[in-house]
Structure 1
Amino acid sequence: MNVQDSRRPLTRTDLPAGLWSATTKFRHGQCDPAGIVYTPKFFDLFNRVIEEWFDDVLGIPYQEVIGTRRTGLGYVSASATFFTPCMMGEEVEILVAVNKVGTKSYGLTLHALKDGQEALRGHFVTVTTGLDTHQSIEVPADIRDALLIYAKANTLATD
């Protein structure tokens, strides 16, 4: 089964065992008056998880890439597929998968699981840019190598 193209919510066992994950609990300030997590908060959370993943797994400090190295990691495409609402007080485990590594961009899928079943899935295509020129550049070699190693270890397709 190609987990990237699945139109149904996945379970933890549908995903490669080695995917890195982070767990978070939804708080009052992330929810609407009905106690349902407000949609934009998911994108903020996904971005935070990607930053942590860079630091913890790729071994490349995200803030260094953007700050010191002046390399932008902007989303050319960001979307989410929602399967079930997340509510205040609930926890989700978010797993990061690399699904494509190109010359100037890469694709990530984030699987947000609630009680072991996918509540939503985030899809991100990141293009690397020079922050001084705002033009696309090749994915830096250390980032590209780290992405490919992670993808290979987790049996996900890369180009």
Structure 2
Amino acid sequence: MNKIDKSASFPSPLNRADIPFPDWSYKHIFRHGQCDPAGIVYTPEFFNVFNHAIEAWFCECLNLSYYDFLGPRRTGLGYVNAHADFFSPVQMGEEVEYFIRVCKIGGKSYTLELNAMLGETEALRGLFTTVTTNLDTHSSIDIPTDLRGALNQYVFSDTT
């Protein structure tokens, strides 16, 4: 039988004051159809809204059209890893505010952290690693120069 390593560090929720880039956010109110019979948001709905926030962040913060990457530029922005840590339930009618920061930029991929705040406390945290690809060949490509430059503005590393 495997035992849980109690010395392992588990994430803990952030407070609003700890958000590294507080000047932009994406807000979403969860509706009836996004919740189970008890009124708690279905887990997959969070991933859908995480993606909505990323699309809005591209257009509004990075000043790059997410849709041009996928359309005319034929550059895929697919997730190779998508993860979430849940700290508290979110219920029907509650507004969640999403903040985004860049954790890491590699040659062909980058990682985003999304902090989903319910009031003053983080309700959940998403971590998404995106690989840039050529949508015609489905092979990975270097992160386009304009995207790399825009992402660099939102890199944050916690040195505490």
* TM-score (norm: length of structure 1): 0.90
Q: Which amino acid aligns with 1:102?
A: G
Match for residue 61 of structure 2 among 57, 63, 69:
57
Match for residue 78 of structure 2 among 74, 77, 83:
74
Give secondary structure in 2 for the equivalent of 1:150.
coil
C-alpha deviations, 1:30-59, integer Å up to 9, x for none? 101110000000000000100000000001
5+ residue gaps, structure 1: none
RMSD: 1.4
Match for residue 144 of structure 2 among 132, 140, 148:
140
* TM-score (norm: length of structure 2): 0.90
Instruction: Report % sequence identity.
Output: 55
Moved over 6 A (4+): none
Which runs of structure 2 are paired with 1:1-159 in the superposition (5 Å)? Answer: 7-18=11-22, 20-151=24-155, 155-156=156-157
Following superposition, the deviation at residue 19 of structure 1 comes to 5.2
Structure number with higher helix proportion: 1
Q: 2:4 maps to what in 1?
A: none
* Equivalent pair of 1:19/1:96 in contact (CA under 8 Å): no
Structure of greater Rg: 2
* Equivalent pair of 2:21/2:100 in contact (CA under 8 Å): no
Q: How many residues align?
A: 150
Q: 2:6 maps to what in 1?
A: none
